[in-house]
Amino acid sequence: MMANDVDGDMAARPRSDLRTRLISAIVMVAVAGVALFIGGWLLQILVAGVAIGLFWEFRALVRAFVRKQSHYILWMLGGACYIGFACLSLLQMESLLRWVLIAAVIATDSGAYFAGRKFGGAKIAPSISPSKTWAGLYGGMAGAAIVLLLAALRADGLWAYWWGAPLIIFMGCVLAVVAQAGDFFESWMKRRAGVKDSGALIPGHGGLFDRVDGLLAVLAFGGLCKWLGLLSWAGMA
């Protein structure tokens, strides 16, 4: 009888967790989607709130593994620049570019998940993130490249010509690598801090940093490319 109870509890728990994760994901997508679609002050308020939450979680992680005060200050300055620049870049981007970068990150995560489950294989950095495989990275690259190719169908400039396809695919691969790098960076911080999640703000998902680690890196990278004029040259801005 006890064994059956335990088995039933273990079987029910994943369903409960999945339900919680699904509800949280729907709410997050709805709130973010509405803010991105409407833009203006609503998006600014949402991004500001997320930035504050991200910095708070970043601070908690750093406090868990940094001992010297001077190092702590440097980490805080670096975190403020990283998070602030990424969020500011999002607000300053054209609407289409925002959607393309967000879609590319989602495609990277989805492609990596399915390719990793299908093919498995060698791990990229098992000591940091045991679930990440090279096959998953390649799947993420393919997903991001597909998103950029689809976006090219409705953009002008270089993207409108067939000879721009290799560059589009290359940029998709770069975005996937940047997203994965952001994921690894947060995983490394959590390993150093000895925690599973960056926070507990989002039921079933952990903290804000857990959800947007890859996107944060891509937004910072996109903002840097825009500042250097690379996106205008490529016809994305």
175's CB contacts (< 8 A; 6+ apart) are: 101, 104, 105, 108, 144, 148, 218, 221
Q: What is the DSSP letter of 123?
A: B
SS3 132: coil
20's CB contacts (< 8 A; 6+ apart) are: 203, 204
Q: Tens of pLDDT along 117-138?
A: 888 788 898 888 888 889 989 9
Distance of CA 75 to the CA centre of its chain: 20
> CA-CA distance, 184 to 95, in Å (whole number)?
28
Distance of CA 102 to the CA centre of its chain: 8
Amino acid at 19: R
Q: Tens of pLDDT along 63-104?
A: 999 999 999 999 999 999 999 999 999 998 888 888 889 999
> CA-CA distance, 103 to 89, in Å (whole number)?
16
In sequence order, the β-bridge partners of residue 133 are 123
* pLDDT over 90 at 16, yes or no: no
When the pLDDT of each residue in the chain is averaged and rounded to a whole number, the result is: 82
Q: What is the DSSP letter of 130?
A: T
> CA-CA distance, 8 to 168, in Å (whole number)?
50
Give residue 26's pLDDT: 82
> CA-CA distance, 64 to 71, in Å (whole number)?
12
Among candidate residues 220, 214, 206, 188, the one with its CA nearest the CA of residue 107: 214
- Percentage of the chain beyond pLDDT 90 is 41
In the block, residue with structure tokens 């090219």: 152
> CA-CA distance, 86 to 82, in Å (whole number)?
6
pLDDT tier, 2 (very low <50, low <70, confident <90, very high otherwise): very low
Q: Tens of pLDDT along 219-236?
A: 999 888 877 766 554 455
